[in-house]
Chain A
Amino acid sequence: MILALVEHERGLPAEASLEALTLARELASVEGTDLDAAAFGGDGSALADELGTYGVDTLHHVDHDDLDGYAPEAWGESLGQLVEEIDAGTVVVPSTDRGHEVAAHAGVTLDAPMATNCVAVEVDDAGAYELERHRWGGSLLEHARLTGDRKVISAAEHEFPVTPADEATAPTVTEFTPSLEADHLRVRVDRVEASDEEGIPLGEARVVVGGGRGVGGAEEYDQLEELADLLGGTVGASRAAINDGWRPHDDQIGQTGAKISPDIYIACGISGAVQHMVGCKGAETILAINTDPEAAIIQKADWAVVGDLHEVVPELNDALRDSA
C-alpha cells in the first residue's frame, strides 16, 4: 500500500499535496496496490470528497485529544504509527517545509530511509526504487536506489502535474488515533504572527525585476523599484547583492531564497549563477540586461539587451511612463 500525506486547509488539499498524490497514485498503480491518504485535523469527510477525484481508496483521518494545530514530532510519530498499523510500504509527502519535517520524524519512527525531492520513480523486480531526485535545487539530478521494507519519499515541487484519476473513487474515511507521549508534543506552534510586509510577495508576482551585483549599490535599486512599479511587479535580488548589504534577505531569489514564477523576469546586472537560476526556473520568460554578452544569464534568457542597466532602465522607465 502507498500512503500519501495530504496537507489541507479546511478540507481543501494543498497543490503540493495533490502533486505528491499524483506520484503516489502512479506508484500504487505500478505496484498494484491501494492508494491511501493521511490527513491531520479538520473535517475528514469534506476532504475525502475532494480526494475521491484523485483515486484515493481510504482516507486515514488522524486525530488525538492533544493534537491541536501543527506539532512536527507528534505528526511524524503519528504518521509512522499509521504506516505500521496499515502496513504501508511507502509514504509519499509533498516537498514542503512541513512535508519534509513530518517525513523526517516518520522516518525515525519507522527506521526507514527517506529520499527527498524525487522527480521520477521506477520500481524494480525486487521492490526497490530506482529514482531520480533533485540536488542543488534541481540544477543537478541524482540517480539513486532506495531499498527497504518501508520507504519515505517526497515529490519535488512542480514535477508532477496534478491529474485526476481515470476513475474517481469514494474514499472510506477511517479515524486513526495515535498513541502519543508528552515528549512527542513538546514542539508545537505556539502562535502565528502576521507579516507587516507590503506589496506583492516575490513568489506570487507576475513581473519580477531582479538586481545583481551589477546594480552597484543600495540606492541604485530605486530605478528597479520604479520599473517594477510601472509593471505592477516586485523587486528581487541575487545572493551577491544581498551579501553586499544592498537589499534585505527577504528579496533573495535563489536556492536559499524565494522561488519565483512570474510571466517575465527582468534580470538586471545578474550573472546567472546556478544557485540564483534555480530560484527562477519557474519564470515563463526571462529578459536579461547585462553589459557582458558572455554572461551565463544570456544563455538562459529568452531575450537580452547588452548594455549598462544604469542607462537602459531609466530610459525604459521613461518610455513606459510615456506610454501609460
Chain B
Amino acid sequence: MNVLACIKRVPNTGAKIVLTDDNQRIDASNLGFTMSPHEECVIEEAIQQADAHGGSAHVLTLGPEEATEQLRTGLAMQADEASLLETDGSEWGPRATADAIANVVREMAEDGTEFDLLLLGNESADAANYQVGVRVARELGLPCVTGIKSLEVEGDTAIAGREIAGGEEIYEIDLPAVITVKEGINEPRYASMRAKMRARNMEIDRREPVGTAGAGSLEKVRLETPETDDSAAEILGEGPEAVPEIVEILESEVSVV
C-alpha cells in the first residue's frame, strides 16, 4: 500500500509571535521552521501503514527550496521518498495548493506510482483553512474524511474514527481515499542521529507546482498580532510561603473551594 503524506513548512512560534516589518509574515529568523503538529502524525501514520501493509511512504510538500528541511525530517523518520513542489516562497492559498497536489498525484500515477491513501493534516498550524484535503479528494474523485484520530486499514477498507462529544464516530471507506488527521492519532517517532545523517544525502524529487484557484479569491492583506492583556501577573509570593494566598484566591476570588 503506497501512502502519500502531505505536509507544510510553518514557522516555529515559541512564546510570542513576531511579525516582519511589512506585516506579511512571521519573523522566523530566531526560531526557524517546523511542520504543523498534525503533520508529524501524518508522516508517522504513512510510515506505519506502508510498513504494515507493504508499500512505500512518500512525503510531499509545496513550498520553497528551504522546505526540503521538513522533507528530510520525514525521510529521517524513515519515509521512503520525498517530493518538493518548489515555489518562490510566496504563500499559496488552499485552492491552488489542492489543485497542485491533485495534479502531481495524477502525474505520479501516469509514471506508475499510485497511492492507495493520501494523508494530510486536518488544518495547517499557520493558516488553518480546513479545506485542502477535501479539495484534493474532490478533484481526484476520491472519498474523503477529515479530523481523524484513529485509523485501521483492512484489505481495501479504511476504518477511521473521529472524536465527538462522548465518543467516536466511525467511518468505513473504500480505498483509495483521502484522510486528514489530527495530532494524537499516533506518537510520532524521533529520528535517530544516524537516520538524520542518512536523510541528509537522500535524493529529493523536485517538480514545479501547477495549480489554479478557480472563481473568486481569498487574499491576505496583512497580519496583525492581536492586543492582549500583557500586564504581568500579581505575584502572590515565592515558593510554599504563597500557599495561604493561593487558598484565599481559590476560596474568595474564584470560589472553587
Q: Is B141 an interface residue (CB 8 A)?
A: yes
Which residues on A sit within 8 Å (CB–CB) of B75? none
Q: Is the CB of A190 within 8 A of B218?
A: no
Taking the complex as formed, is B109 at the interface, i.e. its CB lies under 8 A from any CB of chain A?
Answer: no
Q: Which A residues from 302 to 321 make CB contacts under 8 A with B?
A: 302-308, 311-312, 315-316, 319-320
**What are the interface flags for B144-177 relative to A under an 8 Å C-beta threshold, 1 for contact and 0 otherwise?**
1111000000000000011011111111111000
Q: Are A135 and B236 in contact (CB under 8 A)?
A: no
Residue B201 lies at the interface, judged by CB distance under 8 Å to chain A: no
* Max chain A Cβ within 10 angstroms of own Cβ: one of B17, B38, B213: B17
| Complex-state Cα separation, A186 to B234, whole angstroms | 56
Select one of B221, B237, B250, B254 contacting A305, CB under 8 A.
Answer: B237
A193 to B149, CA, bound (A): 13
Is A179 among interface residues, defined by CB-CB distance under 8 A? no
B161 touches A193 (CB 8 A): yes
Q: Is the beta-carbon distance between A117 and B170 smaller than 8 angstroms?
A: no
Give chain B residues whose Cβ lies under 8 Å from the Cβ of A108.
Answer: 134-135, 138-139
Q: Which B168-216 residues have C-beta < 8 A from chain A?
A: 168-174, 182-184, 187, 213-216
Docked-complex contact A187 and B238, CB < 8 angstroms? no
Please report the C-alpha to C-alpha distance between residue A28 and residue B14 in the assembled complex, in whole angstroms. 40
Q: Would A107 and B233 count as touching, CB distance under 8 A?
A: no
B219 within 8 A of A: yes
Contact of A263 among B143, B162, B254 (CB under 8 A): B254
Checking A111, A257, A274 against B215 with a beta-carbon cut-off of 8 angstroms, the contacting residue is A111
How many residues of A are in contact with the other chain, CB < 8 A? 97
By the criterion CB–CB under 8 Å, are B17 and A136 in contact? yes
For residue A138, which residues in chain B have a CB less than 8 angstroms away from its CB?
A: 226
Residue ID in chain B nearest A285 by CB atoms: B254
Asked if A107 meets B230 with Cβ closer than 8 Å, knowing A186-B174, A306-B238, the reply is no
Complex Cα distance, B38 from A98, in Å, reads 18
Task: Give bound CA distance, A208 to B233, whole Å.
Answer: 18
- Give the nearest-CB partner of B239 in chain A: A307
A274: B residues at CB distance < 8 A? 13-17
Let me know if A275 is at the binding interface, CB within 8 A: yes
* CB atoms of B233 and A113 under 8 A apart: no
Query: Do A257 and B143 have beta carbons less than 8 Å apart?
Result: no
A99 to chain B, nearest CB (A): 9
Instruction: Identify whether the interface residues of B are mostly helix, strand, loop, or mixed.
Output: mixed
In the assembled complex, B89 has its CB within 8 A of some CB on chain A: no
| Chain A nearest CB, measured from B238 CB (Å) | 5
Tell me which of A16-24, A37-45, A147-155 binds B.
A147-155
Query: How far is B127's CA from A233's CA once the two chains are assembled, in angstroms?
Result: 33
Place the interface of chain B in its size category.
Answer: 35 or more
The 8 Å CB contact of A140, one of B14, B17, B38, B233, is B17
Of A70, A141, A249, which is within 8 A of B223 by CB?
A: A141
Closest to A185 in B: B143
CB pair A136–B125 under 8 Å, yes or no, is yes
Which of chain A's residues has its CB closest to B10's CB? Answer: A136
A134 at the interface (CB under 8 A from B): yes
**Which of the 9-residue segments B44-52, B79-87, B240-248 touches chain A?**
B240-248
The answer to the question of A189 belonging to the interface, with a C-beta cut-off of 8 Å to chain B, is: yes
Give the number of residue pairs across the A-B interface with Cβ within 8 Å.
280
Which segment, of A161-169, A217-225, A293-301, faces chain B? A293-301
Is A303 touching B257 in the complex (CB atoms < 8 A)? no
Q: Please judge, given known A-B contacts A73-B144, A104-B130, whether A320 and B233 are in contact too, CB under 8 Å.
A: no
A188 touches B171 (CB 8 A): yes
Contact indicator A151/B216 (Cβ below 8 Å): yes
Q: Are A144 and B221 in contact (CB under 8 A)?
A: yes
Specify which of B172, B223, B233, B243 is in contact with A302 (CB 8 Å cutoff): B233
A101 at interface, CB cutoff 8 A: yes
Chain B CB within 10 Å — which of A115, A312, A320 has the most?
A: A312
Given A113-B95, A239-B37, A307-B240, is A147 in contact with B225 using a C-beta cutoff of 8 Å?
A: no
- 1/0 per residue, CB under 8 A from B, across A239-260: the answer is 1000001000110100111000
Is A252's CB under 8 angstroms from B184's CB? yes
Asked if A316 and B134 make an inter-chain contact with CB atoms under 8 angstroms apart, the answer reads no
Q: How far is the CB of A309 from the nearest CB of chain B, in Å?
A: 10
CA of A189 to CA of B171 in the docked complex: distance in angstroms? 5
A30 close to B (CB within 8 Å): no
Selected contact of A150 from candidates B37, B216, B218, CB within 8 Å: B216
Chain A residues 86-105 with CB under 8 Å of chain B are 97, 100-101, 103-105
Choose among A132, A146, A187, A304 the residue that contacts B216 (Cβ–Cβ < 8 A).
A146
Check if A139 is an interface residue, CB within 8 A of chain B.
Answer: yes
- Could you list 15 A-B pairs, sorted by A, with CB under 8 Å? A104-B133, A107-B135, A130-B221, A146-B219, A192-B169, A192-B170, A195-B168, A256-B182, A256-B184, A274-B17, A298-B232, A300-B230, A305-B245, A311-B239, A320-B247
Binding site for A on B (CB under 8 A): 13-17, 26, 37-38, 93-95, 123, 125-131, 133-135, 138-139, 141, 143-147, 161-162, 164-174, 182-184, 187, 213-226, 228, 230-240, 242-247, 249-250, 253-257
Leading 6 A-B pairs by shortest Cβ distance: A148-B216, A249-B184, A307-B239, A296-B15, A104-B134, A304-B233
Inter-chain pairs besides A140-B224, A148-B217, 16 sampled, C-beta below 8 Å: A101-B134, A101-B146, A113-B218, A116-B123, A136-B125, A139-B17, A144-B218, A151-B216, A189-B169, A195-B167, A249-B187, A302-B233, A302-B234, A303-B245, A305-B235, A319-B247
